[in-house]
Amino acid sequence: MKFFVDTADVAAIKELTELGMVDGVTTNPSLILKSGRDIQEVTKEICDLVDGPVSAEVVALEADRMIEEGRKLARIADNIAIKVPLTWDGLKACKTLAGEGRMVNVTLCFSANQALLAAKAGATFISPFIGRLDDINLDGMQLIADIRQVYDNYGFETQILAASIRTVNHALQSAQIGADVMTAPPDVIKKMAAHPLTDKGLEAFLKDWEKTGQKIV
């Protein structure tokens, strides 16, 4: 499974990249707002840090404007994936931009039907939002499973990018179902390393080591 980090925090991306934990980055207008920086400036800096896809989102609602914005974002770097919403206009923009050989991430997906349309429109990535479905008492992981089944049935090459991941369980279950990619905030990725038995075992080892009176260096 590929790990994308969902942030516009350059320092956090750099830390995870140095550990080999980043295969790409996803951003959106909310994350750009949190960064407090110019979208093109911060996106270029992220693209210079990461070899894989960096999703940068359009903000227009009409297809023609989305295409215009997408082309401008794509000029920032060769590894830009243009992020468009899963609306009818977004699908039109996806078809055009994908036809030009650009990577397209179709976002805000909440049904397998939507995912099927995105694949037909040539999306590179489809981003089903797990956490937001959980918020309204629907099973976000079932959506990942439904999309996986549909895509496998017909050999679609669109990659399932599990998004709106809020817990380590979301990450694990996405991997078990077979999502191609997950995108998660830096803190969720770091929490995947944590386990209380690891902490307990380390504490016991260190206590016993202290009793030996020895030093390694």
Residue 60 DSSP one-character state: -
**178 Rama class: left (phi>0) / alpha (psi -120 to 50) / beta:** left
H-state helical runs in the chain? 10-18, 29-35, 39-49, 63-74, 88-99, 112-120, 130-135, 140-154, 168-177, 186-191, 196-212
When pLDDT is cut at 50, 70 and 90, the band that residue 10 belongs to is very high
When pLDDT is cut at 50, 70 and 90, the band that residue 89 belongs to is very high
CB proximity list for 52: less than 8 A, separation 6 or greater: 2, 4, 22, 23, 24, 25, 79
Give the global pTM. Answer: 0.94
CA atoms within 13 A on the CB side of 150: 20
pLDDT of residue 137: 96
When pLDDT is cut at 50, 70 and 90, the band that residue 59 belongs to is very high
Catalytic residues: 83
Backbone φ and ψ for 176, nearest 5 degrees, come out as -65, -40
pLDDT of residue 118: 98
Give bridge partners of residue 127 from the DSSP assignment: none
Q: Tokens 């899963």 map to which residue?
A: 86
Amino acid in the structure at residue 161:
L
Q: Render pLDDT for 61-80 as a digit per residue (tens, 0 to 9).
A: 999 999 999 999 999 999 99
Q: 64: how many CB neighbours lie within 10 A of its CB?
A: 12
CA distance 20 to 24: 11
Tell which residue, 7, 93, 86, 101, has the closest CA to residue 50.
Answer: 7
CA distance 178 to 65: 34
Backbone φ and ψ for 6, nearest 5 degrees, come out as -100, 85
Q: Let me know: does 163 contact 130? Beta carbons within 8 Å.
A: yes
When pLDDT is cut at 50, 70 and 90, the band that residue 162 belongs to is very high
Q: Tokens 């911060």 map to which residue?
A: 42
> In the predicted model, what is the mean pLDDT of the chain?
96
When pLDDT is cut at 50, 70 and 90, the band that residue 173 belongs to is very high
The structural domains of the chain, ordered by start, are 2-212 (3.20.20.70)
More confident residue, 37 or 114: 114
